[in-house]
Amino acid sequence: MKASRIAATGALAGTAVLALSVPAFAHVSVQPEGTAAKGGYAVVDFKVPNERDNASTTKLEVTFPTDHPLASAMPEPMAGWDVKVTKSELDKPLEMHGEKITQAVSKITWTATGDGIKPGFFQKFPVSVGQLPEDADELVFKAIQTYSNKEVVRWIEVPQKGQDEPENPAPVLALSAAEDGHHGASSSDQASDSDDAEAASAKTAAAEPADSSDTTARVLGVVGIVVGALGVAYGVLAGRRRTDA
C-alpha cells in the first residue's frame, strides 16, 4: 500500500511539473518601445518567433487597421530584409496638423533576402507609427507568417474579452492615456518624433536567440516526465516484490 502511494505521488508530481512548465505557443505580437499614447507617435516592435524546427521564417505581412487608419508608418531598415509599404485610399480623409490626408498605410511586408529567422530564434521588426487615434484603447494588426517550406500561418483571430485566447491571435497594441504634449501633436512634437525615428533607424535588428524561459520550461517538462515515470516504475517493482514474498 505504501509503495502504491509513493508511485501515485511520483506520477502526480511529474504531471504537475509538466503542466506548469509547458508554455503557451509563442505567436507574432506587437509592443511599443516605451509607451504608445493616444494622440501621439510611437515606435512599435512586431516580434516574430520561429516555431518550426525544420524551416526558417522568410516573410512577414502586417495589415494595418482600417477602422483607425494611420497616416504615418515608417519601418526601420533591416539588414537581410526587403521591406514594402503599401498605402490605400481612405473612404474618409483624415485631418492631421491642419491638412487632409487621403491615404494611409494598409500593409507592410518584410521579405528575407537571406536565411530569414532560423529555428530557435526570433526577430523584431520596428515601425514608427502615428498619429495614434484618441478614441480607441487598442489597435489590431493582423499578420501572416511564411516559412521557407511554404507553410503559411495566419495570425488574424481577434482576441475577445472574457474569452480564451484564440489559437492564432492577431497582434494587439494597447494604447495608454494621452500624455501632455502628445494630445494634438505640435510641430515641436513632430520634430522630436522625427528625431526618435531617425535614432531608431540607425540600429539594425538582428535575429536573437529565443527566450531562455522557453528552454527552461522544456527542460522542466522533461524532468517532470522522468520523475513521474520513475515513481510509477518504483511502485510496480515494489508491488511485485510484495507479491513474490
> How many CB atoms are closer than 10 A to CB 91?
8
Please write the tens of the pLDDT for every residue from 2-60.
555 544 444 444 444 433 333 445 799 999 999 999 999 999 999 999 999 999 999 99
Average pLDDT for 130-148: 96
In angstroms, rounded to a whole number, what is the distance separating the alpha carbons of residues 143 and 153? 9
Whether the pLDDT of residue 147 is over 70: the answer is yes
Q: Kindly state the cell numbers that stand for 93.
A: 480623409
pLDDT value for 170: 96
Q: In Å, how far are 31, 50, 151, 189, 235 from 39, measured between CA atoms?
A: 17, 33, 38, 11, 64
Arithmetic mean of pLDDT over the chain: 77
For 90-94, the CB contacts below 8 A with 24+ separation are: 94/69
C-beta of residue 44 within 8 angstroms of C-beta of residue 108: no
Straight-line distance from the first to the last Cα atom of the chain, in angstroms, rounded to the nearest whole number:
15
Positive or negative, the CA dihedral 74, 104, 70, 100 is positive
**Cα separations in angstroms, 61 against 73, 109, 114, 179:** 14, 4, 17, 31
Burial class for 14, CB neighbours closer than 10 Å (0-12, 13-18, 19+): buried
Do the strands 72-75 and 142-147 form a parallel or antiparallel pair, or are they unpaired? unpaired
Q: What is the pLDDT of residues 176-220, one digit of tens each?
A: 998 765 544 433 344 444 455 444 444 444 455 555 444 444 545
- pTM for the structure as a whole: 0.66
- pLDDT tens sequence across 119-131: 999 999 999 998 9
